[in-house]
Amino acid sequence: MDPYAVLGVRPGSAEAEVVAAYREAAKRWHPDKAGEEGAERMAELNAAYDLARAAAQHGQASPIGFETSPAGVAKAPGDWLLPALRLALGPELLSHLFRGEDVKLVTPTSTWASPRAILAVTDRRLLWLLDDAPVSRVHSLTFRNVAEAKHRVRRKRAQLTVRTLAGRRHVFHDLRPHTAATIERHVLA
């Protein structure tokens, strides 16, 4: 979704112009006035307004988290991925993906640093989000830096231990046994 096209303003518009366009569209498409069709359109307008306004406040030509192609069409982070994967990854992990990086698997896990984490396995690395950490939330480990990966099953749950070439150990707990085995195979492939 290009927020500027939805609002009917040009990219890089001033915040006042974005606000005016939003208010005008909201008057027309408010669900109380436009019914069911208005509810869907209003949700789209609200999302576009938030993105365009944030960009205007930060003095950017394109919204935060969006890149603009030469044709001027905004692209969402992870636009090459399936919508379900984008949803599972969330905005923070999506922002750390390289363009075209193929995500193989996303699963909840826990680590010693965070009981709530999300682990993503891509075609080239492990990427994880420490969901309850205030800073340094996203970490990654490329497969070429992995010396060893082992999984172990304990009471219907599995633990995956990954050791780097530098000797550092990363342990992911609370995985499904099949998921841990799949990640291990993928990392070592």
Which one has a higher pLDDT value, 62 or 159?
Answer: 159
Bridging pattern class, strands 146-154 and 138-142: unpaired
pLDDT in tens, 92-110: 899 999 988 998 888 899 9
Task: Tell me: pLDDT of 68 over 50.
Answer: no
What was the pLDDT predicted at 56?
Answer: 59
Task: Tell me: pLDDT of 31 over 80.
Answer: no
Q: Taking the CA of residue 96 as centre, how many other CA atoms within 13 Å lie in the half-sphere pointing to its CB?
A: 19
pLDDT in tens, 129-161: 998 888 889 999 999 999 999 999 988 899 999
Closest CA to 173 of 145, 149, 147, 153: 153
Q: What is the mean pLDDT of the chain?
A: 82
Topology of domain 3-74, per CATH?
Helix Hairpins (1.10.287)
Topology of domain 78-188, per CATH?
PH-domain like (2.30.29)
Q: Where along the chain do its domains lie?
A: 3-74, 78-188
Separation between Cα atoms, residue 58 and residue 60, nearest integer Å? 6
pLDDT in tens, 108-130: 999 999 998 999 999 999 999 99
What was the pLDDT predicted at 63?
Answer: 45
What was the pLDDT predicted at 141?
Answer: 96
- Contact between 45 and 25 under an 8 Å Cβ cutoff? The reply is yes
